Structures are given as C-alpha cells and as structure tokens.
C-alpha cells in the first residue's frame, strides 16, 4: 500500500499535537515510518528527507549509541506502565545543527491501518518541556503537572476559608478509567484511539465547564469538580462515552473521593485524594451493573492487604506460612473417602489467617498465581510420595490450575516434571479448571487439556453452574467429572433442586461423573444421594484441614478409603440414571451378602410394598438369614451378576 496517503492523513492530526510524534515499525529493524512537524523541529530538520538522513530511518538513529535499547525491551522492563500500554522514554541526542538535547516522554504500542503494528513515540526537549505547554498533547486538556498545581491552589483556598468557594460549591476528586480501551486501539488503530480520547476530553469539558480536568496517562482521566449533582452528571457522562465507543466490553468507570479533613490532622499530598478516587474506580471495574463508586476506608485497607500479599508471597512460600489443606470427598454410594481437594491456606504469624478470597484474586490479577499453583502441586506430590514410602492408604487428590498457568507456563510439562521427580502414579493427581478459564481462553485450552488426557490425567470442570456456565463448554471440551458450584446449595430451594437434578441427568447422559460442592446439611446430602450425585464435598463431611488432622478426622468418622478397583466399579455404577419414574437400585453384591447402596424414590416405594420401610432396613434384613425375601433376592442378584462385567456392583 502507498504510504503517502496514510502519512497525509496522519499529518492532519498529529501536526496539531504538542511535542514530536514518531511512528516506528514493530520489528527488529525498528524502521521509522512517520514523523510530525514538531519532530522535525525538535531535531532542527527542515524536511523529512533531512530527518531520515540524520537518523538513517531507524529508531536507534534518534539517540546516542550508549542510550539505545530496543523498544520491545524498554516496554517489557516497565511492568507497571506497560500494563496500560504506555512506558516512559528518555535519551540524549544531537540535532542536525549539532545542538545537544535531553529528550523524554512516553511511547506506546498499537496498530495503524496501512502500517500495521507500530510504536508511537511522543517526545519533547526535557529542558523546555515544562515551559512549552500546560496541555496534554493528545486531548488538549491540562497535563498532569499543571492539573495538580491548580487543584492544590483550589484546595488551599478552601482549607483557608474552611467553606465552599465563592460560588458556594464544594469540590471533590474524580478518577475515570476506560476499561479494556486497548481493545479499541487494537481494533481501530492508535490514530483512531487518540481521536476517541480527544473526543472524550471535549465531552468532559462540555459536561464540567467550571472544573479542572486532565488525562493522567493512557485511558485514565482525573477531574476536580463541584460535588453538587455530581453523581447524575457522572452517570450521564459514562453513558454518553459508552454510547460513543459502542463496544460492550469497553466502558467508562468512575471513582469519587473527597478531601474532607478533620481539624488537627496532617495534610495529605494532593495526589493521595486522587489515589483514593482510583481505588473506588478499581473496585467496580468488573461490575457491569455499576458506573461509579464512592471511596470509603475499607478500600484503603483492601489496598494495604493487596500490597502485603504481593510483597510477602515469596517469603510466605519459603517459610511455610502458606500451607496445603485437604478437604475430603465422599462417595455417596459407599460412604467411603474417595478423594481430596488440595487448597492453599495462608497463615501469617503476624496478620493471622488471610482468606483465600483475598489473596487468590490478587495473585491472579498480578499474574503471580502460577507461583502458588506450582507450590501446591509440589506439596501434594511430596505427600503422595510420603504415603507411598510408608505404605499408607491413598486416594486421588485434585489440584487447581488458573487460566494464567496456561498463559505464563506449560502446566502439563510442570506436572509431568513433578510426577517424574517424586515417582508418583498419575492416577493420584486430578486436574481441576474453572469455567472462567475456558470461557476466556478457549482456543488455547482445548489442545492443552486434551494433552493432559492423552498423558493419563483426569480433567475436572470446577464451579459448573456458576455465573460463567455455558453448555458450549461441555460440547467443546472433554471432561471426566463436573463439580457442581456450591452456590446452588447455598440458596437451597425448589429452583436450585431442579437445576441440580438437570445437571446430574445431563452429565450421566454424556458419560461425565458428578461431584457436588458446598454440602453443609443432612438435607443437602440426602437430596444429592437421592438423585444419584456420585460424590459430595462440603462442611457436612469436613472443612479443609492439614493432612495429619485429616487422618484423625477419617478415623473419628470411621471412613474407609476407596481402592482403585472400587473406584472403577463405582464410576461405572455412578453413571446409572436414578432420575426416572422407573424403580432403580444399585446393589453391592457378594456371594454371601447384598446391600442396596443407591436407590431412587420409585424403588423405595417398591420396598415399602414388601413391608420394608427404607433401604437401611432392607440392608439390615439382608444380613439376617431368617429374612423370608433374602434367598429370593440373592438368587436374583446372582443371576444379574453374571450378566454384567463389574466386579462389585450390580444394577437391578
């Protein structure tokens, strides 16, 4: 494509921007594709031809050799800024006329139609940058430095008077963020992205004509605005911006703070009040139902907790403050312990117990969750090795993988490495992934999970029935087991019963096993057993606990541990559908004994016609040789046993 029409279009916009603009191709050569008029002035070049001769048309030619670092490397080294797509840039250079300059400002990545993926540099002379303009070069709003200066003067005036300004208005800080705006840049290109930011700046000035407004960086704005009627104005602004962008996953969010100070307290820095507004904004980024939030002190405590978690994760792992707990899973048909789920618990010697609901989301958002998951998996492997070496009874243990595990590492390679290192059978490790993982990373996950299957691991789908649920997940992926989300038992009513029945029935028809989480009462357990849910996990049977306490708990409860052959038989029997009007029961049959281990309501009614009130009474009667029906049942079961392959279970 001819570059001249593209450059002509870019000049119409970027020649109006304060500061030098330079577009550089994202490639090893870092070819310069476009410069605006201010860039030519900065380097004292009269024409683009002079500029390209001076720089040899490469990014490296903009600076002294000692200051050069590839833009990709610069972006990756700026973790905090790079998260927004922007990073700081500073270097030394000589102009065409030999003037020595210190150049600085920011650069970002994006796409320009006709040019493809580019780096966009916005540069100024450091010595003159403060004097050049108080305006942001992209939006025409106040730049951050000028904004904070003017806000501080306004606040000082209000502090001195201890009352509203001359117009009778109290002002407060507001922080605005466009969630996922990088998607807009990727879809429309940097040029259109900047045009949208400029348009939003105009909307802000129109909505708040008597206010101070700035673009802090990227897609973040700050306002110092009259408090009166603010919430309605913010709502209207967010709606107008969302309508303008017209992409459902890009929305304007607002955080509203205040600068109220009690008498005698130490004055805070002006930026602290906008930090509070940002905390409020961040608190609703993932809440599609809210456009604005007001700051309150619990948000500050939440931020302090977040900082503690990030700063102390490695120390907590190294010093054993993060421990692996195990929650028991019980087979409904046999009442035996058939497995455990490994769960991380953080017990700090100073802060005490830190809830998983606090530290796991922080680690996921910071992409540090893989460190925790690797630690848990290795601790589980160490336990299994210990059990094998000491001839202790064992059951499979399920471990959780985050979506970031699949992005930041090769989880199968890591698990295989651990299995080989500790010499444990793959059978004893079960892999759990949540639906949210699959919804957001479908193409990546299909192959990865299939590789786990091919390597001999069972793969389970966690939190089925949660807010992310989609039947397409079951169509696109192969799972050995569904774990029904505990939320369906938390609000236990007829509607939730219907949903759980439907999930169990669907799973059996698809040949997928079912485990229900969150069972806390006998009512929960009786219901799940009656519909043929195969396994149950929840506080009714036990909370997550250290391994030694789990052993004591099992002894106290009198639980036996399920063997491999029992699991195979129970898995086959567990796919039998009990949600039917026909009487169905599953027996555990031996030549000298037979027991009902699962039966639906219709079969219970059949028992009642024979004078037996329940399956428990029937099982007790079957142990008594004088029971009149015993021989008849044993003969029937012996005949049925020859017609099925299962070693332990007979279906009648």
Q: How many helices (H) and strands (E) does the chain have?
A: 27, 22
Helix-helix angle 494-510:522-530, to 10 degrees: 40
Q: Report pLDDT for 467.
A: 54
Say what the pLDDT of residue 470 is: 58
Residues of the chain with pLDDT > 70, as a percent, come to 86
pLDDT score at 305: 82
pLDDT category at 286 given cuts 50, 70, 90 is confident
* Phi, psi (rounded to 5 degrees) for 560: -90, 160
- Angle between helices 270-282 and 144-161 in degrees, nearest 10: 110
Residue 430: which pLDDT band, with cuts at 50, 70 and 90?
A: very high
Task: List, for residues 580-625, the tens digit of each pLDDT value.
Answer: 888 888 877 776 777 777 888 888 887 777 777 777 777 777 776 5
Q: Is the pLDDT of residue 333 over 50?
A: yes
- Out of 417-431, 532-546, 570-584, which region has the weakest mean confidence (pLDDT)? 570-584
Q: What's the chain's length in residues?
A: 652
Q: What percent of the chain has pLDDT over 90?
A: 41
Q: Above 50 in pLDDT, residue 60? A: yes
Evaluate whether 175 touches 255 at the Cβ level (below 8 Å).
Answer: yes
**What is the chain's alpha carbon radius of gyration, rounded to the nearest angstrom?**
33
Class of domain 144-295: alpha beta
Q: What is the reported pLDDT for 79?
A: 40
If you average pLDDT over residues 343-361, what whole number do you get?
92
Check pLDDT > 80 for residue 162. no
Residue 327 to residues 336, 514, 520, 545, 550, Cα–Cα distance (Å) = 14, 17, 13, 6, 8
Instruction: Give the span between the Cα atoms of 559 and 328, in whole angstroms.
Output: 10
- Listed residue (238, 228, 122, 118) closest to 177, CA to CA: 238
pLDDT, greater one: 554 or 569: 554
Stretch 486-510: mean pLDDT: 89
How many Å separate Cα 7 from the centre of its chain?
A: 40
Q: Which residue has the higher pLDDT, 331 or 475?
A: 331
> What's the confidence (pLDDT) of residue 81?
39
Residue 130 pLDDT > 50: no
The answer on pLDDT for 116 being more than 70 is: yes
Query: Can you give the pLDDT at residue 396?
Result: 97
Band (pLDDT 50/70/90 cuts) for residue 345 is very high
Query: 3-132 and 144-295: same fold?
Result: no
- Over residues 310-321, the mean pLDDT reads 93
Quick: pLDDT tens for 391-420: 999 999 999 998 888 888 899 999 999 999
* pLDDT-wise least confident of 278-282, 286-290, 621-625: 621-625
More confident call, 479 vs 615: 479
pLDDT digits (tens, 9 = 90+) for 198-228: 899 989 988 898 789 999 878 899 999 988 8
Inter-axis angle of helices 230-245 and 190-207, nearest 10: 150
Give CA–CA dist 633/627, Å, rounded: 10
Mean pLDDT score, 121-139: 71
Determine the CATH number of domain 3-132.
3.30.450.20
pLDDT at 494 over 70: yes
User: CA–CA separation, 77 vs 89, rounded Å?
Assistant: 11
Greatest mean pLDDT among 150-159, 244-253, 441-450, 547-556 lies in: 547-556
* Mean pLDDT over each residue of the chain, to the nearest integer: 84
Q: Can you tell me the mean pLDDT for 57-61? A: 94
Give me the mean pLDDT over the 139-143 stretch: 85
Residue 43: band (very low, low, confident or very high) from pLDDT cuts 50, 70, 90: very high
For the chain, the structural domain boundaries read 3-132, 144-295, 306-568, 585-651
Choices 1.10.1520.10, 2.120.10.30, 3.20.20.450, 3.40.50.170: CATH for 306-568:
3.20.20.450
What digits encode the pLDDT tens for the residues 358-387? 899 888 877 889 999 999 999 999 999 999
């Amino acid at each position: 494509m001819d570059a001249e029409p593209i450059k002509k279009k870019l000049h119409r916009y970027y020649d109006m921007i304060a500061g030098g603009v330079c577009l550089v191709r994202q490639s090893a050569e870092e070819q310069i594709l476009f410069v605006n008029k201010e860039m030519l002035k900065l380097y004292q070049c009269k024409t683009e031809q002079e500029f390209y001769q001076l720089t040899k048309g490469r990014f490296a030619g903009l600076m002294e050799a000692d200051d050069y670092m590839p833009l990709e490397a610069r972006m990756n080294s700026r973790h905090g800024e790079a998260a927004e797509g922007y990073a700081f840039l500073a270097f030394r250079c000589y102009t065409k006329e030999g003037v020595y300059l210190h150049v600085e400002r920011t650069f970002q990545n994006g796409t320009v139609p006709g040019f493809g993926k580019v780096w966009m540099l916005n540069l100024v002379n450091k010595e003159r940058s403060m004097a050049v303009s108080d305006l942001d070069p992209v939006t025409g709003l106040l730049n951050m430095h000028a904004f904070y200066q003017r806000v501080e003067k306004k606040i000082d005036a209000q502090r001195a008077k201890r009352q509203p300004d001359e117009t009778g208005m109290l002002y407060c800080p507001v922080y605005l963020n466009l969630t996922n705006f990088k998607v807009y840049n990727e879809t429309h290109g940097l040029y259109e992205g900047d045009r949208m930011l400029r348009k939003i700046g105009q909307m802000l000035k129109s909505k708040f004509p008597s206010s101070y407004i700035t673009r802090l960086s990227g897609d973040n704005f700050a306002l110092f605005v009259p408090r009166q009627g603010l919430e309605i104005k913010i709502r209207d602004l967010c709606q107008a911006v969302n309508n303008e962008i017209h992409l459902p996953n890009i929305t304007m969010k607002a955080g509203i703070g205040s600068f109220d100070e009690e008498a005698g307290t130490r004055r805070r820095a002006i930026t602290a009040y906008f930090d509070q507004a940002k905390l409020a904004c961040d608190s609703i980024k993932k809440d599609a139902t809210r456009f604005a939030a007001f700051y309150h002190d619990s948000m500050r405590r939440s931020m302090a907790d977040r900082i503690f978690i990030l700063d102390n994760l490695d120390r907590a792992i190294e010093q054993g403050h993060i421990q692996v707990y195990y929650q028991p899973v019980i087979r409904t048909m046999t009442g035996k312990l058939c497995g455990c789920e490994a769960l991380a618990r953080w017990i700090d010697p100073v802060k005490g117990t830190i809830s998983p609901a606090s530290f796991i989301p922080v680690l996921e958002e910071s992409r540090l969750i893989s460190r925790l998951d690797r630690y848990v998996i290795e601790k589980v492997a160490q336990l299994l090795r210990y059990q094998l070496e000491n001839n202790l009874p064992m059951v499979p243990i399920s471990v959780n993988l985050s979506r970031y595990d699949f992005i930041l590492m090769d989880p199968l390679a890591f698990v295989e490495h651990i299995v080989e290192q500790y010499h444990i059978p793959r059978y004893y490790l079960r892999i759990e992934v949540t639906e949210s993982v699959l919804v957001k990373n479908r193409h990546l996950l299909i192959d990865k999970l299939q590789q786990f299957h091919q390597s001999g691991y069972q793969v389970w789908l966690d939190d089925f029935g949660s807010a992310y649920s989609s039947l397409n997940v079951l169509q696109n992926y192969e799972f050995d087991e569904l774990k029904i989300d505990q939320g369906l038992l938390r609000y236990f009513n007829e509607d939730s019963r219907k949903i759980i029945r439907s999930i169990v029935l669907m799973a059996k028809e698809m040949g997928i096993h079912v485990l229900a989480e969150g069972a806390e009462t006998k009512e929960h357990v009786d219901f799940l057993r009656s519909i043929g849910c195969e396994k149950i996990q929840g506080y009714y049977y036990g909370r997550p606990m250290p391994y030694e306490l789990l052993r004591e708990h099992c002894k106290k409860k009198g639980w036996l541990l399920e063997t491999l052959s029992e699991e195979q038989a129970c898995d086959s029997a567990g796919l039998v559908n009990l949600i039917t009007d026909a009487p169905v029961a599953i027996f555990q049959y031996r030549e000298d004994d037979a027991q009902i281990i699962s039966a639906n309501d219709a079969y219970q009614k059949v028992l009642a016609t024979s004078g037996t009130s329940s399956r428990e009474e029937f099982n007790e009667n079957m142990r008594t040789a004088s029971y009149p029906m015993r021989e008849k049942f044993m003969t029937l079961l012996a005949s049925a046993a020859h017609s099925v392959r299962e070693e332990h279970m007979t279906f009648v």
